[in-house]
Structure 1
Amino acid sequence: MKIAFIYIAEPYQCYHTATVASALAAMPGNQVTEYYSFPDTPLHLQRIRRSLDLPDLPLKPFPKSWRAKALKRARRLDQERTLVLKENVDELNTYDAVIATEYSAGILKQMGLNKPKLILLMHGAAGRYVKDQNLIDQFDLTLLSGPKEETFFKSHGLLQNHASKIIGYPKFDVFAAMRHEKPIHFANGHPFALYNPHCQRSLTSASRWMMPLIKGFRAQLDKPEGYNLVVAPHIKMFHKGFGFKARALKRQEGPGILVDTGSPAMLDMTYTSQAALYIGDVSSQIYEFLAIPRPCVFLNPNKIAWKNDPHFVYWTLGDVVENLHDLMPTIANAAKRHALYRPAQEKFFQDAFCAPLLGASQRGAEAIMHYLAQT
């Protein structure tokens, strides 16, 4: 089988699919090639495979027209992604299967992809409406993290017209190999809280509360029970602005405050595995954090009416702050209140991911080969 894996967005995609690509490549008779759009993607793929002692796979940059390159320079990344896919349909049509981890790849069918089976390897976790979500029905096979995700999509009328299979979360296989690579230590020896705001403008807490949050943490660093702070927003937050936003945020770094705007640690669970406290809004990294149940605080400066909304079910796993004057007191009390939320966190995680936790990469590869053999 000739199989193409396509990485059409930032390198965070590598951590969800690279191990599945390697498992497929290890099966007799398969030729697996990886295509990428972002220039630093190969470095992440190499890092993953070095950690797992796996060989590199054939790797190709997506050929891009002058127009696609211009869109990239102008930071029109959604438009560039669509154009790059359109420009490469003919080459992708030479494969037996094309595997992606982003809904937007579903548009390939409308662009003329007709020979390969189009396979979606889900990343993140279900529970909130995402742009392009309806494109899931363009795929021939969807691989899911767990029963919660399957129920979510079926309740929205998706997964009705094609095959699907629950395999677990391949990123945990990467996490198991990398978790001890880069321990995070601060000079004062205190634990750290992770602030992980999303990039979606209508839902993020960053635009209103990021600066007050950093200021509040600076003020409590010297207290015996004080936390250090890692600020690691969703990487898409820095798509626009030609680097100005990232540089401005970096200036907030100082003793006890670490700001990350693009390192591998944002993507490989370095922070979510080691933080003592999670602070966020709607990022799906909360699922990764809860692999080890710990205190959570969710920020709602936009006063979203979230209660009884299934898209915000994870806001039931910690205190929700809706007024700025409650922000730091809520954070200070989070550890004491964790016992109230731990049982719900454990159930939430178990519902989201199938057991066993490790081995999803091999299960994914086997599910793909079984599907291809039947079609």
Structure 2
Amino acid sequence: MKIAVIYIAEPYQCYHTASVADALSSEFNFDVTEYYSFPETVQHLERIRAAMHAPALQLRQFRKSWKAKTLKTFRRLDQERILVLRENVDELNQYDAVVATEYTAGILKSMGLRHPALILLMHGAGDRYVNDDHHVRDFDLALFPGVKIENYFKQKNLIRPGHYAVVGYPKFDVFEAIKKESPVLFRNGRPFVLYNPHYQRQLTSYKACMGEIIRGFSDRHDYNLVIAPHIKVFHKGFGLRARRLKQQARGNILVDTGSPAMLDMTYTSQAAIYVGDVSSQVYEFLAEPRPCVFLNPRKLKWRDDPYFLHWTLGDVVEEPEDLMPAILRAPERHAIYRPLQEKLFRETFGEPLLGGSVRAAKAIADYLKSHPPVGGHNG
């Protein structure tokens, strides 16, 4: 059978999906072709394959019209993504299955995707409200990392038996292969705090708290600081925001606006303390339970809201001037939160931690065996 694995957004998607594409090819002998939208995706795929000692797969760039290219030039990336899917649906119809890692791909069915099984390999931890998660019902098969997210979609009546599976989180397999590549080193040898603000305008702490955290660490002698926002923070502004932020780097403050370390768990695996708002990267950080601080400068009413479940895993700060005191007392308060951190991590990603790539590939293979495409391309 022929499988198309699509990377329709930034290269961060590679770290969630490439290892599953490898397993589909090597373990189950599927004919796998990867499609990408961002040219830099190729470099990330090559890096992952080298670290995992996996052979290269067939690789194709999505065809793009002048309109799609114009949308990308002006950073209208959500609109561009939908147009690119529409422009390539006929080619994707040649496959027996299309595997994607974001909900947006669910619209392929309404665009005319008929022959392939449409498969979602979900990334993220499932706490934050996502306005297009209803698209999960448009997939023939949805693969979830753990029971927390399975239960969430059951409660919303968006999945049905036989069309979903819990497989774990393949990204951990990728990180296991590459984790020795890039230790985060500061000349002073001190541990570092990771600040990881999200991009979503209504929820991010970026504007309200960035200046305060930079000032707070500028002359500290106990911790370093790594600032690594969600990559989509830099979507707009033609690079101006990234350039301004980079100017804040100094001896004990590392600013990252686009390196692979932002995407591959380098920072989340090595930080001493996590500071953020709604990014699901906090769950990757909790593979080893450690202190967390969450920022709520907008004073959102978050308690008992399932979309803010992770805010129960550390102190929540509303006033920017309280940020540094909360960070500095986080280690002594960690014992309060550690039991719940361990519980929610298991519910989010399941056990065992490694092996999700093969489990996901097997779930896809089993589904295609029990639901063979009509007039399938057996090759």
What letter matches 2:255 in structure 1? V
Aligned to 1:265: 261
User: Does residue 353 of structure 1 match 2:352?
Assistant: no
Measured after TM superposition, the shift of residue 27 of structure 1 is 3.7
Residue 101 of structure 2 is matched in structure 1 by 101
Question: Are 1:199 and 2:219 an aligned pair?
Answer: no
Distance 1:162 1:77, change over 3 A: farther
CA contact (8 A) 1:139 1:162 kept: no
- 1:335-361 per-residue CA deviation (whole Å, 9 max, x = no partner) reads 111111111111111111121110000
Q: Which residue of 2 aligns with 1:119?
A: 119
- SS of 1:131's equivalent in the other structure is coil
Once the two structures are superposed, the pairs formed by residues 306-325 of structure 1 within 5 Å of their partners are 306-325=302-321
SS at match of 1:109: helix
Q: Deviations over 1:26-68 (max 9, x none)?
A: 1454110000000100100010010010001000000111111
Opposite residue 62 of structure 2, the aligned amino acid is: F
Q: Distance in 1 between matches of 2:155 and 2:360?
A: 23
- The 4+ residue runs of structure 1 with deviation greater than 4 A are none
CA distance in 2, matches of 1:178, 1:235: 20
CA gap 1:287/1:28 in 2 versus in 1, 3 angstroms: closer
The corresponding residue for 2:183 is: 183
1:325, CA displacement in angstroms? 2.1
Aligned pairs (5 A) from 1:153-232: 153-160=153-160, 163-219=163-219, 221-222=220-221, 226-232=222-228
Number of aligned pairs? 371
Task: Show CA shifts across 1:258-298 (max 9, x none).
Answer: 00000000000000000000000000001100000000000
The one-letter code of the counterpart of 1:242 is: F
Does residue 303 of the first structure (1) align with residue 322 of the second (2)?
no
Q: Distance in 1 between the 2:349 and 2:73 partners? A: 38
Match of 1:374 in 2: 370
Deviations 1:226-264 (A, max 9, x none): 210000000011111110110011000011000000000
Rounded Cα–Cα distance in structure 2 between residues aligned with 1:324 and 1:119: 42
User: Would you say the 8 A contact 1:7–1:36 is kept in 2?
Assistant: yes
What is the alpha-carbon distance in structure 2 between the residues aligned to residue 28 and residue 341 of structure 1?
A: 42
Counterpart AA for 1:266: M
- Percent identical pairs in the alignment equals 63
**What TM-score, normalized to structure 2?**
0.96
Q: Which has the higher contact order (CA 8 A, sep 6+)?
A: 2
CA contact (8 A) 2:136 2:158 kept: yes
Say whether the 8 Å CA contact 2:15–2:264 is kept in structure 1: yes
Deviation at 1:157, TM superposition (A): 2.2
Please give the alpha-carbon distance, in whole angstroms, between the structure 2 residues aligned to 1:286 and 1:113: 35
The 8 Å contact of residues 137 and 161 in structure 1, kept in 2 or not, is answered as no
Which structure 1 segments of 5+ residues have no match? none
Residue type of the partner of 1:236?
Answer: K
Instruction: Report the TM-score, using the length of structure 1 for normalisation.
Output: 0.97
**CA-atom RMSD, angstroms?**
1.0
Instruction: Decide which moves more: 190-199 or 180-189.
Output: 180-189
Q: Distance in 2 between matches of 1:151 and 1:196?
A: 27
Q: Does 1:326 align with 2:322?
A: yes
Superimposed CA distance per residue, residues 8-36 of structure 1 (whole angstroms, 9 cap, x where no aligned partner): 00000000000000000114541100000
